[in-house]
Structure 1
Amino acid sequence: MMLITTSHRPTRRTRSFGHDLERVFPNSLYLTRGKKTLQDLLMEAYDRGYERLLIINVWKGNPLKMTFIKVDPEDWGYLGYLYLHGIKLQREIGFRDLRPIKEDMPLVVTVAKRTGIDHLSFAQVFAELTGGTFVPRRNYSLTTIADKYNTDVIGVVERHPRGIAINFHRMDVERERAVGPLISVKIWIMEDGRRWDYKEALGLKRGEQASKDFLSLE
């Protein structure tokens, strides 16, 4: 599905995040960046047969941005970007040492129940970025969706106090609980101009979020 790597000089937490993504993106690989240039990474992804390159950028020790790139020597290009509020790793959720999925199966992306139009839009965008398959939730259970699409991996877009989040289910590991990583997204931007910003969605102006966060503590 995709080659996953980081910006130069990643932190331990960023590397752990890359490994977690390798465990929920079927047929993907986490690669240590080292001194490789972007061109080196694109060529390596192409040589390994991947259609996507994902680069995780770090800021103050934590993953800040996920950049998705289309791998094609004649038509490569940036697809879009996710700017993150934060993440929760698989080990922080209670799952350690999951095996990567090397079988050929789709990553299915859907939404949690009782979500809104913004969540639906992001689910479709995330499927585009990853090369996954978007499936409307309706009244289906995750088990029903997994069985119908013959997959063990479902990314579920859900509500989050500070934006939109996506969490991952490994049906071969645990059918009732998400295994992570949990990714909280504050902004997504597609190269074709589509975008979403959680502050704009909530009607917040600059400086208002600090007051909102403070009041929520009272």
Structure 2
Amino acid sequence: MFLISSSRRPSQRLRSFLKDLALILPGSVKVTRGKKTISELASLAFLNNAKYIILVENRRGNPSIIRVMKVGLAGDGGIKVEDYVSIRLRGVRLSREGGSRLTYPINGYNGVDYSKCYSEKCLEFSGILMNLLGKFIRENFSYRIVLEENGPVLILKIIDRRGAVVGPLMKIGGFRVYGR
């Protein structure tokens, strides 16, 4: 469902974040970018039946922007890539820096908890998450995504059935949805 890669020269912290993302995004494949272009990543995504490419960029060694792109077939039979959403990160706490580490990939979520959302921005972002993960949201899974507001920042956490935070914690400063 997701092909995950990074900017051209990822820092060690960004590589750790990519590992965390590969564990929390169901059906994801992590690819080392190297010299691959976006069109080469799109071909890899198409071969792996991934609908989305997730590119994470870093600034000063920290993950800063998550770009989500849709992959599909163009009218001429080629592969097309179009931007879906760009998420600006304000901070990330990796799973190795606190909380519980995941030892195996998550294959689905119980839901997206947006009960601590008060603004339209937060509710819109929860809708984006539900669109991206719609196929993987069912009642019988033990993990859930919690979205809450802390001033202008949205905090995204993964919670297990005991209530413990697992995986990375992301502070989202803003986002932009393309093609509305």
TM-score (norm 2): 0.86
Bigger fraction of residues in strand? 2
Higher relative contact order structure (alpha carbons within 8 Å, sequence separation ≥ 6)? 2
**Do 2:158 and 2:165's aligned partners in 1 also have CA atoms closer than 8 Å?**
yes
Whether 1:109 aligns to 2:112 is yes
Which of 102, 120, 124 matches 2:123?
A: 120
**Do 1:70 and 1:76's aligned partners in 2 also have CA atoms closer than 8 Å?**
yes
Shift of 1:170: 4.0
Which residue is equivalent to 1:78?
83
**Do 1:106 and 1:133's aligned partners in 2 also have CA atoms closer than 8 Å?**
no
Q: Counterparts in 2 of 1:1-218, with a 5 A limit?
A: 1-74=1-74, 75-96=80-101, 98-101=103-106, 103=107, 105=108, 108-111=111-114, 113-117=115-119, 118-128=121-131, 131-133=132-134, 149-171=139-161, 175-192=162-179
**Alpha-carbon distance change, 170 to 52 in structure 1, aligned in 2, over 3 angstroms:** farther
**Do 2:93 and 2:168's aligned partners in 1 also have CA atoms closer than 8 Å?**
yes
Bigger fraction of residues in helix? 1
TM-score (norm 1): 0.72
- Structure 1 unaligned residues grouped into runs of 5+: 135-145, 194-218
- Aligned Cα root-mean-square deviation (Å): 2.2
- Structure 2 unaligned residues grouped into runs of 5+: 75-79
Identity of aligned residues (%): 27
Larger Rg: 1
